[in-house]
Amino acid sequence: MERTMKVLVAYATRYGSTGEVAEKIGEVMRSKGAEVDVANIKDKPDPAGYDAAVVGGAVYIMMLSGKTKGFVAKHKKKLRDMPVAYFVLSGTMKDDTSENREKIGSKLNPLKKKAEPVDVGLFGGAFDPSKGPKMMADEPATDDRNWDAIAAWAEGVYEKFEGKK
Ligand SMILES: Cc1cc2nc3c(=O)[nH]c(=O)nc-3n(C[C@H](O)[C@H](O)[C@H](O)COP(=O)(O)O)c2cc1C
Protein backbone atom coordinates (compact mmCIF):
# COMPACT_ATOMS: atom_id res chain seq x y z
CA MET A 1 0.00 0.00 0.00
CA GLU A 2 1.16 3.52 -0.71
CA ARG A 3 2.30 5.61 2.19
CA THR A 4 -0.06 8.46 3.18
CA MET A 5 1.12 11.81 1.87
CA LYS A 6 1.90 14.34 4.60
CA VAL A 7 1.04 17.91 3.65
CA LEU A 8 1.75 21.15 5.51
CA VAL A 9 -0.63 24.06 4.85
CA ALA A 10 1.14 27.13 6.28
CA TYR A 11 -0.59 30.51 6.23
CA ALA A 12 -0.31 34.03 7.57
CA THR A 13 -3.41 36.04 8.46
CA ARG A 14 -4.16 39.37 10.09
CA TYR A 15 -7.94 39.23 10.29
CA GLY A 16 -8.72 35.53 9.93
CA SER A 17 -10.01 35.04 6.38
CA THR A 18 -6.81 33.48 5.02
CA GLY A 19 -6.77 31.03 7.94
CA GLU A 20 -10.28 29.86 7.02
CA VAL A 21 -9.17 29.29 3.42
CA ALA A 22 -6.14 27.33 4.67
CA GLU A 23 -8.48 25.15 6.77
CA LYS A 24 -10.66 24.51 3.72
CA ILE A 25 -7.63 23.49 1.64
CA GLY A 26 -6.60 21.13 4.46
CA GLU A 27 -10.09 19.64 4.66
CA VAL A 28 -10.18 18.97 0.89
CA MET A 29 -6.75 17.32 0.92
CA ARG A 30 -7.72 15.16 3.92
CA SER A 31 -10.82 14.02 2.05
CA LYS A 32 -8.48 12.90 -0.74
CA GLY A 33 -6.49 10.79 1.75
CA ALA A 34 -3.65 13.10 2.79
CA GLU A 35 -2.48 13.62 6.35
CA VAL A 36 -2.60 17.41 6.70
CA ASP A 37 -1.41 19.91 9.28
CA VAL A 38 -2.80 23.44 8.89
CA ALA A 39 -0.55 25.89 10.74
CA ASN A 40 -0.33 29.62 11.30
CA ILE A 41 3.16 30.84 10.37
CA LYS A 42 3.30 32.70 13.70
CA ASP A 43 3.42 29.27 15.37
CA LYS A 44 6.63 28.54 13.43
CA PRO A 45 5.68 25.42 11.45
CA ASP A 46 8.62 23.59 9.85
CA PRO A 47 8.25 21.89 6.43
CA ALA A 48 10.84 19.27 7.44
CA GLY A 49 9.24 15.83 7.50
CA TYR A 50 6.40 16.74 5.11
CA ASP A 51 6.05 15.45 1.55
CA ALA A 52 4.52 18.67 0.19
CA ALA A 53 3.58 22.18 1.31
CA VAL A 54 0.93 24.79 0.55
CA VAL A 55 1.86 28.33 1.63
CA GLY A 56 -0.57 31.24 1.68
CA GLY A 57 -1.11 34.85 2.65
CA ALA A 58 -3.08 37.98 1.81
CA VAL A 59 -2.29 41.31 0.17
CA TYR A 60 -2.27 44.42 2.39
CA ILE A 61 -1.60 47.88 0.96
CA MET A 62 -0.38 46.42 -2.33
CA MET A 63 2.04 43.99 -0.68
CA LEU A 64 1.93 40.28 -0.03
CA SER A 65 2.09 39.43 3.68
CA GLY A 66 5.67 39.76 4.93
CA LYS A 67 5.18 36.70 7.13
CA THR A 68 4.35 34.56 4.10
CA LYS A 69 7.40 35.86 2.21
CA GLY A 70 9.55 35.37 5.33
CA PHE A 71 8.39 31.75 5.72
CA VAL A 72 9.36 30.86 2.16
CA ALA A 73 12.69 32.67 2.47
CA LYS A 74 13.50 30.91 5.73
CA HIS A 75 12.61 27.42 4.48
CA LYS A 76 13.52 27.75 0.80
CA LYS A 77 16.02 24.87 0.83
CA LYS A 78 13.44 22.42 2.19
CA LEU A 79 10.64 23.82 0.01
CA ARG A 80 12.79 23.39 -3.10
CA ASP A 81 13.04 19.69 -2.37
CA MET A 82 9.27 19.08 -2.23
CA PRO A 83 6.29 20.05 -4.35
CA VAL A 84 4.93 23.38 -3.16
CA ALA A 85 1.89 25.52 -4.04
CA TYR A 86 1.11 29.13 -3.13
CA PHE A 87 -2.22 30.87 -2.58
CA VAL A 88 -3.08 34.53 -2.13
CA LEU A 89 -6.22 36.35 -0.95
CA SER A 90 -6.81 39.91 -2.09
CA GLY A 91 -9.65 42.37 -2.47
CA THR A 92 -8.54 42.83 -6.08
CA MET A 93 -9.36 39.22 -7.03
CA LYS A 94 -13.06 39.65 -6.34
CA ASP A 95 -13.00 40.32 -10.09
CA ASP A 96 -11.21 37.36 -11.64
CA THR A 97 -9.85 39.10 -14.74
CA SER A 98 -6.58 38.42 -16.54
CA GLU A 99 -5.40 41.90 -15.58
CA ASN A 100 -6.06 41.26 -11.88
CA ARG A 101 -4.48 37.78 -12.10
CA GLU A 102 -1.37 39.39 -13.57
CA LYS A 103 -1.32 42.13 -10.91
CA ILE A 104 -1.77 39.82 -7.90
CA GLY A 105 0.11 36.86 -9.40
CA SER A 106 3.21 39.04 -9.81
CA LYS A 107 3.33 39.47 -6.02
CA LEU A 108 4.41 35.83 -5.88
CA ASN A 109 7.51 36.43 -8.04
CA PRO A 110 9.92 36.66 -5.09
CA LEU A 111 8.54 33.38 -3.70
CA LYS A 112 8.75 31.66 -7.09
CA LYS A 113 12.44 32.56 -7.27
CA LYS A 114 12.99 30.76 -3.95
CA ALA A 115 10.91 27.65 -4.66
CA GLU A 116 9.02 27.09 -7.91
CA PRO A 117 5.37 26.13 -7.24
CA VAL A 118 3.38 23.40 -9.00
CA ASP A 119 0.42 25.80 -8.93
CA VAL A 120 -0.76 29.15 -7.57
CA GLY A 121 -4.26 29.99 -6.35
CA LEU A 122 -5.47 33.60 -6.54
CA PHE A 123 -8.68 34.17 -4.59
CA GLY A 124 -10.92 37.03 -3.53
CA GLY A 125 -10.63 37.91 0.16
CA ALA A 126 -12.92 38.94 2.96
CA PHE A 127 -13.08 41.94 5.21
CA ASP A 128 -14.93 42.28 8.52
CA PRO A 129 -14.85 45.92 9.73
CA SER A 130 -15.33 44.79 13.36
CA LYS A 131 -11.99 42.94 13.15
CA GLY A 132 -10.11 45.25 10.79
CA PRO A 133 -8.03 48.38 11.42
CA LYS A 134 -9.84 51.36 13.01
CA MET A 135 -9.35 53.53 9.94
CA MET A 136 -11.49 51.02 7.98
CA ALA A 137 -14.25 50.69 10.62
CA ASP A 138 -16.81 52.42 8.35
CA GLU A 139 -16.10 50.20 5.35
CA PRO A 140 -18.76 47.61 4.48
CA ALA A 141 -18.22 43.94 5.30
CA THR A 142 -17.26 41.87 2.25
CA ASP A 143 -16.64 38.22 1.57
CA ASP A 144 -15.50 37.38 -1.94
CA ARG A 145 -14.09 33.96 -1.16
CA ASN A 146 -15.34 31.48 -3.78
CA TRP A 147 -15.36 28.25 -1.78
CA ASP A 148 -16.05 26.07 -4.83
CA ALA A 149 -13.08 27.56 -6.67
CA ILE A 150 -10.91 27.14 -3.54
CA ALA A 151 -11.95 23.47 -3.16
CA ALA A 152 -11.40 22.76 -6.87
CA TRP A 153 -7.95 24.35 -6.69
CA ALA A 154 -7.02 22.31 -3.61
CA GLU A 155 -8.08 19.07 -5.36
CA GLY A 156 -6.01 19.93 -8.42
CA VAL A 157 -2.97 20.77 -6.29
CA TYR A 158 -3.29 17.50 -4.39
CA GLU A 159 -3.32 15.60 -7.67
CA LYS A 160 -0.19 17.47 -8.79
CA PHE A 161 1.48 16.66 -5.46
CA GLU A 162 0.62 12.98 -5.95
CA GLY A 163 2.06 13.04 -9.45
CA LYS A 164 5.34 14.32 -8.05
CA LYS A 165 5.59 11.88 -5.17
C1 LIG B 1 -5.68 47.06 5.93
C2 LIG B 1 -5.99 46.27 4.68
C3 LIG B 1 -5.34 46.57 3.49
C4 LIG B 1 -5.64 45.88 2.31
N5 LIG B 1 -4.98 46.19 1.17
C6 LIG B 1 -5.26 45.51 0.00
C7 LIG B 1 -4.60 45.84 -1.22
O8 LIG B 1 -3.76 46.71 -1.29
N9 LIG B 1 -4.95 45.15 -2.32
C10 LIG B 1 -5.89 44.15 -2.33
O11 LIG B 1 -6.17 43.56 -3.36
N12 LIG B 1 -6.53 43.80 -1.16
C13 LIG B 1 -6.24 44.45 0.00
N14 LIG B 1 -6.87 44.14 1.17
C15 LIG B 1 -7.82 43.00 1.18
C16 LIG B 1 -7.22 41.76 1.86
O17 LIG B 1 -6.26 41.17 1.05
C18 LIG B 1 -8.36 40.77 2.19
O19 LIG B 1 -9.29 41.43 3.05
C20 LIG B 1 -7.87 39.48 2.83
O21 LIG B 1 -8.93 38.54 2.83
C22 LIG B 1 -7.36 39.70 4.26
O23 LIG B 1 -6.88 38.49 4.78
P24 LIG B 1 -6.91 38.16 6.35
O25 LIG B 1 -8.36 38.23 6.82
O26 LIG B 1 -6.38 36.74 6.42
O27 LIG B 1 -6.01 39.11 7.06
C28 LIG B 1 -6.61 44.84 2.34
C29 LIG B 1 -7.27 44.56 3.54
C30 LIG B 1 -6.99 45.25 4.70
C31 LIG B 1 -7.74 44.93 5.96
Give the closest residue to 56 by CA, choosing from 93, 31, 81: 93
Look up the domain containing 23 and give its range. 6-163
User: Could you read off the pLDDT of 110-133 as tens digits, one per residue?
Assistant: 999 999 999 999 999 999 998 888
For residue 1, tell me if it sits in a domain. no
- Assigned domain for 17 exists: yes
Instruction: Give the pLDDT confidence of 69-99 residue by residue, as tens digits.
Output: 999 999 999 999 999 999 999 999 999 999 9
Residue 1 has pLDDT above 70, yes or no: no
* CA–centroid distance, residue 126 to ligand 1 (Å): 8
CATH value at residue 101: 3.40.50.360
In a domain, 27, yes or no: yes
Residue 83 DSSP one-character state: -
Kindly state whether residue 150 falls inside one of the protein's structural domains.
yes
Q: How many residues does the chain have?
A: 165
Question: Is residue 73 domain-resident?
Answer: yes
Q: Whose CA is nearest to atom 29 of ligand 1?
A: 60
CA of 126, closest atom in ligand 1: 21
- Residue 40 in domain: yes
CA angle 103, 151, 161 (to 5 degrees): 85
62 in any annotated domain: yes
The pLDDT value given to residue 89: 98
Best of 13, 100, 127, 139 to mutate for ligand 1, by most ligand atoms within 8 A of CB? 127
Strands (E), 3-161: 6-11, 35-40, 52-60, 63-64, 84-90, 119-124, 126-127, 142-143
How many angstroms separate the CA atoms of 113 and 3, rounded? 30
Q: Is the pLDDT of residue 51 over 70?
A: yes
What is the torsional sign of CA 31, 96, 42, 80?
Answer: positive
Q: How many domains does the chain have?
A: 1
